[in-house]
Chains A and B, each alone.
Chain A
Amino acid sequence: MLDQSFYDKADEIISVHGKGKESLIPIMQDIQAEYRYIPPELLSYVAKKIGVTEAKAYSVATFYENFSFDKKGKYVIKVCDGTACHVRKGTLILERLNKELGLSAGKHTTDDMLFTVETVSCLGACGLAPVMTVNDEVYPAMTPDKVSETIQKIREVEA
């Protein structure tokens, strides 16, 4: 059971989009924008409210890679592994990030809930390859050292 504030927030979001089943995706997007993930309990709550079965809501949520049921860190870092970034050594960016943050292919979020690292297939900024984003802010032409610097800066801000 989540804190009541979550349900109140969900009610607020539902009231913006309406209670039709076509509102499911916009509602999930707003919830994810609010909490950086979709708390499973909240998906069940929303499904019931808008008259969609829980299984159907789960079906939609798992169909799109973008929706996540796992809690994410305060800073979500997306590393592009599209063709352009890949050939310009995007994998080294990912390797350095994982090394800096102690993450791996099976672990995407740091224990202090500060960072989450994800790979994406293309960020649509191939001219800036290799590229990554931190909470939707674009970091172009990355090198492993620039990665370390960026992480260091964030850590300083958060310290």
Chain B
Amino acid sequence: MDYMTIDGIKVPIEDEKNILQLIRKAGIDIPTFCYHSDLSIYGACRMCMVEDERGRMFASCSEQPRAGLTIHTNTKKLQQYRKLIIELLLSTHCRDCTTCTKNGMCELQSLAYRVGVHSVRFENKKEPLPLDLSSKCIVRDPNKCILCGDCVRTCAENQGIGAIDFAHRGSKMQITPAFGRTLSETDCVGCGQCAVVCPTAAISIRTNVTEVWDAIEDPKKRVVAQIAPAVRVAIGDKFGLPRGENAMGKLVKALRIMGFDEVYDTNFGADLTVIEESREFAERLKSGEKLPLFTSCCPGWVKFCENKYPEFAGNLSTCRSPMGMFSPVIREYFKKLDEEEGKETYIVAIMPCTAKKAEILRPDNHTGGRQDTDIVITTQEIIRMIKQVGINFGELGSEACDMPFSMASGGASIFGITGGVTEAVLRYMSVDKDHATLEDIKYSGIRGKEGFKRATVTLGDRQLNIAVVHGLKNASDLLEAIKAKEADYDFVEVMACRRGCILGGGQPVPMGPHTRKARMDGIYQVDQLSSIRYTDENPLIDRIWEDIIKGHEHELLHRNMH
């Protein structure tokens, strides 16, 4: 086997694409701003510089491992280089760390500390630039940008959108939409993946925490929370829990302490979606119209399809997302009580997603002229709220959600991961409801991290062609293939974020390889441990359907497009 010597350690070369990966394999946490394993290599930040035996320095991200090469990652010279780079970055950077949304999570801040920058010798002569507050999902602050280009490459390479790019040059360079427009004037879908990779607060989640505190404080409001499937396996990250651990019980308890009146599980909404979407799918299969059926749970994808491929908008399921279905049902459930008590039900959706913040404002997510979900806060925001209250989350006991929406199937719980919606729908539509069927569906090819998955599943006497994609660039490729008649599918599931909601734009960062896998395993474990795996076995659904939904399916559960 070939070896490289890194800081005196012999490291075997396997399939590492660059020296940086090899260094990290050796257990050395070499700093980077612009390197992300699933983006193209850019080599701009120069933090990953290493020195070889002859004193030659190079960026380890941009060189292939070579047998016999000896490098050092932390010589005096390299330390000085890194320090100077950070100092220069800070020279034009806003330094109001204490009031910054990224305080404590900022990579620039932590690297400045790590390399030991204690003062900045250079005066900041940069004119302050205005913030872009036009998006409901994210906020752009060009004054905090270090021009690493991570957001640009994420948006273009992973999402196939390219809403922002570098503009101008030299000291005037900035990252902006074309012609200095605002984000709302671009094709931005609000997925927040740019905020995920942004090392600073140049792109951050638009926060709605204040609205939630105000509602909790208001005695006239019945504040109801619903928690999305992917939140529970990510929230523990920031409280010292093992990565991917299901912290739903703790979160429910924390919300009650914070003053939420009712706490529900969006998984119940997901079960509603499974039923409605399966029905719609069966109808379309029968009529043969508007196939393939596109899932509509992901607001980033829905907007992307409408923006870029309006000719396919009719293929989108008319179903609202699980959140979108659940909210009007909750409101309907409390309608009478609200009137009696003179209260108003205020629904807070706790989501892994930034695009949901825009979804709730869409006219097709209003019932009887009223917005269904009052506010969306992301996992990151609820973490912040829990910290504000001072709850010791790690030590907190667990509690269950409130009735009558406290039970959901395992199928619903995997909505937070790529392939999950498809899997749940297939479970619902399958004739046999035994363990073997579950295994058949599991291994049909819809699970896994590949960006573009294809499966053929037999349902009754019919072969169904299914495609499951995540990352909007993959969705774009899929639609182009369908357009060119190179592919023919019956059912297509799309999630805007790579690997699905578990790595959504609102989830805690960073999301390294270990975190990604842990969250994936965590979600499947929730399913695995459910006594009910099939949506049709959820005993609470029948009652809710009978009492609330029956006869109102269209207005409560579907996007009323006409």
Interface residues as binary, A37-69 with B (CB distance below 8 Å gives 1, 0 otherwise): 000100110010000011111110011000001
Query: Which one of B163, B164, B176, B179 contacts A40 once the chains associate, using CB atoms below 8 Å?
Result: B179
Query: Which one of B163, B168, B169 contacts A55 once the chains associate, using CB atoms below 8 Å?
Result: B163
Chain B minimum-CB-distance residue to A40: B179
Interface size on A, residues (CB 8 A): 14
Query: Which one of B166, B168, B178 contacts A54 once the chains associate, using CB atoms below 8 Å?
Result: B178
Q: How far is the CA of A63 from the CA of B165 in the complex (A)?
A: 11
Q: Is B182 an interface residue (CB 8 A)?
A: no
Query: Which one of A44, A56, A63, A69 contacts B162 once the chains associate, using CB atoms below 8 Å?
Result: A56
Q: How far is the CA of A59 from the CA of B176 in the complex (A)?
A: 9
Interface residues as binary, B155-178 with A (CB distance below 8 Å gives 1, 0 otherwise): 010000111111111000000111
Chain A minimum-CB-distance residue to B180: A58
Q: Is B184 an interface residue (CB 8 A)?
A: no
Q: Is B186 an interface residue (CB 8 A)?
A: yes
Chain B contact patch, size range: 10 to 19
Given known contacts A44-B178, A58-B178, A58-B179, is B156 in contact with A53 (CB within 8 Å)? yes
Contact residues of A: prevailing secondary structure? helix
Given known contacts A40-B179, A53-B156, is B162 in contact with A58 (CB within 8 Å)? no
Contact B156 A59 (CB under 8 A): no
Query: Which one of B156, B161, B169 contacts A62 once the chains associate, using CB atoms below 8 Å?
Result: B169
Q: How far is the CA of A59 from the CA of B164 in the complex (A)?
A: 9
- Residues of A near B163 (CB, < 8 A) are 53, 55
Nearest-neighbour CB distance to chain A for B179, whole angstroms, equals 6
- Residues of A near B166 (CB, < 8 A) are 59, 63
- Interface positions, chain A 58-114, Cβ under 8 Å from B, are 58-59, 62-63, 69
Given known contacts A53-B156, A53-B162, is B169 in contact with A63 (CB within 8 Å)? yes
Q: How far is the CA of A63 from the CA of B163 in the complex (A)?
A: 18
Residues of A within 8 A of B (CB): 40, 43-44, 47, 53-59, 62-63, 69
Closest 6 CB pairs of A and B: A53-B162, A55-B165, A58-B178, A54-B178, A59-B165, A62-B167
List 19 extra interface pairs beyond A55-B162, A63-B168, CB under 8 A: A43-B178, A44-B178, A47-B178, A53-B161, A53-B162, A53-B165, A53-B178, A54-B162, A54-B177, A55-B167, A56-B156, A57-B178, A58-B165, A59-B165, A59-B167, A62-B168, A63-B166, A63-B169, A69-B179
